[in-house]
Structure 1
Amino acid sequence: MAQSTIPLSALSAQWHSENGAPPPRRLIAADSTLRADVAYRLACEGTALLWHGDYPDALRLLSAMRRRAERRRSRSAPTTHDSPAEAFHRHRRERARLARVLGMLLVPLDADRRIRLDRAPDVRAACLAAYGPFLDSRILSLRELLGVIGAHQWRLKGVEVPALGARIHPHYGVFSPVRGEYVDLVARAPLPPAVHDHPLAHDLGTGTGVLAAVLAKRGLGPVLVTDTNPRALACAEDNARRLGLADRIRSAGTSLYPPGGDRAALVVCNPPWLPHRPSSALEHGVYDPGGRMLTGFLDGLAARLLPGGEGWLVLSDLAELLGLRTRADLLTAIAAAGLRVRGRLDTRPRHPRASRPNPADPLHGARARETTSLWRLAPA
C-alpha cells in the first residue's frame, strides 16, 4: 500500500477521545496491505493509522500489534530486584505505553454512529449509550470503540450482586462492582445506633450505586449519593429504578459531600484504593491521585455525622502492600481528622487475579495477600 500522510485540516470528522488523548500529529491511510510489523513501528513512532479496510481485518491488525507490544513488555518486566513500588510504577508505565501504541489504530464513525467500514457490526446502540447523540462524524481509536461495545454488553447483561439478590447494570465509564467482597462488608457491618431515629445516609463516590442500594435494602433512606462523574450519577439512578429503590436513593450532585451541610447517621465511602494518577476515565474508580478523595472524606466526616453516627471507609490494603502508602499514614490521617476507629471488618479477595498465580502479572504477590477492610469511624 502506498502510505500517504493525511493532514488533519483535510479531515471533515472530529477527533474523539474519552481519555483526553490529543489528536495525532500524523495520520496515514491504512488497509489490509499494511504489514503488522510496519504498523507497530509506525504506531510506536507516533503515526496514527486511519483504517480504510474492512472491520475484521482491523481487529486482526490490532491483535497483531498487541502481540508485538506484549513481547516488548515482557522484556522490560519488573525484576526480582525491584521493590513492590518500583514494580508497580514500571507496570503502570508499560500499560500506559501499550495503551498509547494500540490507540494509534483509528476508525471512522458517522454522525448516525455507524462504523464506515465493510463488515462492521451495528454499534449504534452502544455508541448512543456511551456518547449520547452527536451530529458530526468522528474519528476514534478502535481500542476505545471496543471498550464501548464491551461496556454496552455489560450494561445489558448486568453484574450479579449476591448481597442484593439482583443485578447491577454498569454504564460506560463507570467502574463495575465485579469484586463483591467489599459489597458484602457493607451488607453485614452492624449499623450505628443513630440510624434508628435518623436513617439518613450518604454514599460518597457512588459509582453504580451498588452500596447505596445495599443501604436502602437495609432500611436506610433517603440515601444521598454523590460522584464527580455525571455518568455515575445517571448509572446509580438507573439502577435504583431497576431495583425499585428510586424513592429511597437520591442524587446529590458532583461534590464529595452533599451540599447544604446536612448531617447523616451513616456516611459510606469506597474511594479508589491506589494513590496514583489514572490514565483513563474508567481508572478513576481505581486510582486516586495523591489520595485526595480519601483525605477529603476523612477531613469532612466529623462535621457530617449525627450523634451516634458512623463513617464507613471501605479500603483495600493493596496500596500498603505495594509501598504506596503505609498503615501509619492511614491511621495518622484518621486521627488528624478528629476521628477514632470504632471497629473494623476484614475480608479477603475472591477474584481470580488474586487466587490464580500469574507469572505475567508483576503485582500478583501483592494481590494474593490483599485484605479489604471496612473501617467504622466516629468522632474522637
Structure 2
Amino acid sequence: MITIQDINKPEPIKVDEQLKTFQKGDAVAGTIESLRQGEFILIQTFYSDGISLLAELHKDLKLKLPNSSFKDQQAYRAEYHKLSNLVVLEIVDQKLSPKKSPNIGWLSEFYPDNEHFLLTFPQVQGLNSAWQWHEKGVSLPVLRNKLKPYYGTYFPTRFEHLVLFDNFLKHYKGQKKTVIDVGVGCGVLSMQMVNHQFQKVFATDINPNAIFGLREYMGNTKLSRKIELDCAHLFGKWIKQTELIVFNPPWLPETRELERIDEAIFYDKTLFENFFAEAKKRLLPEGQLVVIFSNLAQITNVTAAHPIETELMNGNRFQLERYFKKPVKPASSKTKRDQHWRALEEVELWVLKHI
C-alpha cells in the first residue's frame, strides 16, 4: 500500500553558509551572473521578489538564446530550469518565510517533521499551482465531477484526445467485464470507462503520486470498487487476459535525463517494445488494444519515427482494426511560446487486434 512517505516530493535543501539575497530594485545583472556561476540566491523579503527575478531571468535568456523552433524552446527551457532552480526560499514551521507568500497545504502534509529548510522557487511555484488545482478541482468535458489532481501527477490541460476516447467508448461493442488502463495518471480514462459501464478497471502507474492521489480522490465511493490500482511499471500484477487494454503513453521521445514528472510526457527507447510484448500476452484473442497518441513529435521534427506505425510494420503481433484522429485547437493567443506547429497537430486513437 502506497503511503504519504512513498510519494515523490521536492527534496529539502540544507545550506549552512550565508547566501546572497535578492529583492526587487537590486542589480539584476550581477544576480543573474551569480546564478550562472552556480550560486544560490535567497528570496528573503517578499515572495514577489522571486517572481520579479525569474521574469528578469526570462528577459536575459531571450536576448541570448534563439527561441523559434521546438528544439530551441526545449534548449531554452533546459537553461531556464538550471538557473531558476538556484533561486531558493526558506521554509520555517511548514510555512514560506518571505512576506505575502501563498499558503500551501502540501508543506505541512509532506514535511511534518522538518521545521527549517530551503526549496527552490520553481519547486514552490509547482507546489502552489498543484495545491490550487487540487483545492479548486479541474473540470473536464468528459467527466461529470471535477477532478482533483494530486501533486506530481500529470493531468490533461487539453481535451481533444479525451473526447476522441469518449466517442470510441460510445460505439464500443465488445465485452465490458474487465479492462486494463496502463499509466492511469490522474485517472480520467479509467473514470470514463466506468461511466461507460465497464465492470472492473485494473489500472497501473509507475508514479506513486498518481496511485496515492487517485486512491485518496476515490475514497470509499463507487469508483474505489470499480477501479483497482497497482503502483508498477506497465501491467504490474495484472496478468490475467482481458478484452480491452488502454494506453495513453507519453507523446515525445526523451531527449535528456528525465525527472519524475517528465516520465508522463517523454518516453524512453524501450517503452513501446516492452509494452506491445506484454500486451500481446494479456489481450484475449478477440480483444482490442487502444493506444492514444499524437503526431506531435513528427510535426516538431523531434523524430520521424512513429512507435505505433513501427510496431504494426515490424512487430508481427498486432494489426490495425480502426484509426481515428482529431485536430488540436490552436494555442491560446495569451501563450508566450511560439506554437505555430499546433495548427498541424492531431491526436490519434489506434485500435489494434491480434494478428
TM-score, structure 2 as length reference: 0.86
Separation of aligned partners in 2, 1:346 and 1:117:
48
1:185 paired residue number: 164
- Whether 1:60 aligns to 2:52 is yes
Over 3 Å counting, the alpha-carbon distance change for 1:377 and 1:37 in structure 2 is: same
2:90, 2:116 within 8 Å by CA — same for their partners in 1? yes
Q: Following TM superposition, by how much is the alpha carbon of 1:201 offset from its aligned partner in structure 2, in angstroms?
A: 0.6
Alignment of 1:86-165 (within 5 A): 87-110=69-92, 112-123=93-104, 125-128=105-108, 131=110, 133-165=112-144
Over 3 Å counting, the alpha-carbon distance change for 1:314 and 1:37 in structure 2 is: same
Separation of aligned partners in 2, 1:322 and 1:247:
42
Q: Following TM superposition, by how much is the alpha carbon of 1:103 offset from its aligned partner in structure 2, in angstroms?
A: 1.5
What residue identity is the alignment partner of 2:94? R
- Whether 1:195 aligns to 2:175 is yes
1:207 paired residue number: 185
SS class of match (2:40): strand
1:194, 1:307 within 8 Å by CA — same for their partners in 2? no
Give the one of 333, 339, 345 matched to 1:370. 345
Separation of aligned partners in 1, 2:54 and 2:342:
29
What residue identity is the alignment partner of 2:214? A
1:272, 1:288 within 8 Å by CA — same for their partners in 2? yes
Alignment of 1:207-226 (within 5 A): 207-226=185-204
Give a deviation string over 1:348-373, Cα, whole Å, max 9, x none.
Answer: 113x52x6597x645x2332101111
SS class of match (1:330): helix
Give the one of 308, 312, 323 matched to 2:286. 308
Give a deviation string over 1:230-250, Cα, whole Å, max 9, x none.
Answer: 001122223434974111001
1:77 paired residue number: 67
Unaligned runs of 5+ in 2: 1-7
SS class of match (1:326): coil
Separation of aligned partners in 1, 2:141 and 2:100:
39
2:5 paired residue number: none
Unaligned runs of 5+ in 1: 1-16, 79-86
1:28 paired residue number: 19
1:194, 1:265 within 8 Å by CA — same for their partners in 2? yes
Separation of aligned partners in 1, 2:57 and 2:17:
18
TM-score, structure 1 as length reference: 0.81
What residue identity is the alignment partner of 2:59? R
What residue identity is the alignment partner of 1:164? L
What residue identity is the alignment partner of 1:189? F
Separation of aligned partners in 1, 2:97 and 2:13:
22
Separation of aligned partners in 1, 2:113 and 2:83:
27
Q: Following TM superposition, by how much is the alpha carbon of 1:327 offset from its aligned partner in structure 2, in angstroms?
A: 5.7
Q: Following TM superposition, by how much is the alpha carbon of 1:180 offset from its aligned partner in structure 2, in angstroms?
A: 1.2
Give a deviation string over 1:180-222, Cα, whole Å, max 9, x none.
Answer: 11111221115665415xx111111110000000011111131
Indicate the RMSD between aligned Cα atoms, in angstroms.
Answer: 2.8
Separation of aligned partners in 1, 2:302 and 2:55:
33
2:10, 2:123 within 8 Å by CA — same for their partners in 1? no
Separation of aligned partners in 2, 1:228 and 1:304:
19
Separation of aligned partners in 2, 1:242 and 1:316:
35
Over 3 Å counting, the alpha-carbon distance change for 1:310 and 1:240 in structure 2 is: farther
1:332 paired residue number: 310
What residue identity is the alignment partner of 1:213? M
Give the one of 257, 264, 272 matched to 2:250. 272
Q: Following TM superposition, by how much is the alpha carbon of 1:345 offset from its aligned partner in structure 2, in angstroms?
A: 1.5
Q: Following TM superposition, by how much is the alpha carbon of 1:294 offset from its aligned partner in structure 2, in angstroms?
A: 2.8
Over 3 Å counting, the alpha-carbon distance change for 1:273 and 1:21 in structure 2 is: farther
Q: Following TM superposition, by how much is the alpha carbon of 1:22 offset from its aligned partner in structure 2, in angstroms?
A: 9.2
1:318 paired residue number: 296
Q: Sequence identity of aligned pairs in percent? A: 21
